Amino acid sequence: MNGKGGKDQVVPMGEWACYFTEAYVKNVRPWQVCSPAEKALFVQHRNGRRLSPRAAGDIVDRATAKSGVGRRVSPHLSTFRHTMATHMLRNQADLRHIQAIPGHTSLRSTQVYTRVNIEDLKEVVRRSHPHGRRAGAAYGQSACI
């Protein structure tokens, strides 16, 4: 996939996303595409042409409403990048690995998507700092943090 500036970009996908994308490409997309020249992965079911930004926005809006997220989610990739980065950081992914996914050349660009949740920060201090816990206190029960 070509990313910003025409650079090649690798988009890693989880097992379930791969499974359903492959099933779509094999079983659904061939019935929808109006022209063999259409290169877009996702096409509109009505006319088989490339999914428009508006159609993508409608899909995201409907999915957001069904999910009960309770806030506006934009189909723009920054919403999804921020969420992906946050989930990966909470599961101890290295920031350099997260940086590679959107193809950032600078860690500063990646840090935009990685707001620190105060509870996550407290947990890192408890777990990692030599003085993060009081002597004799049970793990995770420090009154100060």
pLDDT attached to residue 66: 92
Q: Does any domain span residue 64?
A: yes
* Domain count along the chain: 2
Q: Does any domain span residue 49?
A: yes
Each residue of 102-127: pLDDT tens digit? Answer: 777 888 877 776 666 677 778 878 88
Q: Look up the pTM and report it.
A: 0.56
pLDDT attached to residue 114: 64
Shared domain check, 41 and 21: yes
Q: Does any domain span residue 46?
A: yes
User: Left, alpha or beta for 103 (phi > 0: left; psi -120 to 50: alpha)?
Assistant: left
Q: What is the pLDDT along the chain (145 residues), one digit of tens a residue?
A: 555 566 666 677 889 999 999 999 999 888 888 787 888 888 888 888 888 888 888 888 898 889 988 777 877 766 777 777 778 877 888 888 888 877 778 888 777 766 666 777 788 788 888 876 665 555 555 445 5
Shared domain check, 62 and 22: yes
Q: Does any domain span residue 51?
A: yes
Shared domain check, 111 and 92: yes
- Integer Cα distance of 49 and 133 in angstroms: 59
Shared domain check, 66 and 24: yes
Shared domain check, 50 and 16: yes
pLDDT attached to residue 142: 47
Shared domain check, 104 and 64: no
- Integer Cα distance of 38 and 75 in angstroms: 22
Shared domain check, 39 and 20: yes
Shared domain check, 113 and 98: yes
| SS3 of residue 66 by DSSP | helix
Containing structural domain, residue 52: 12-70
Contacts of 97 (CB under 8 A, 6+ apart): 88
Shared domain check, 64 and 38: yes
Q: Does any domain span residue 6?
A: no
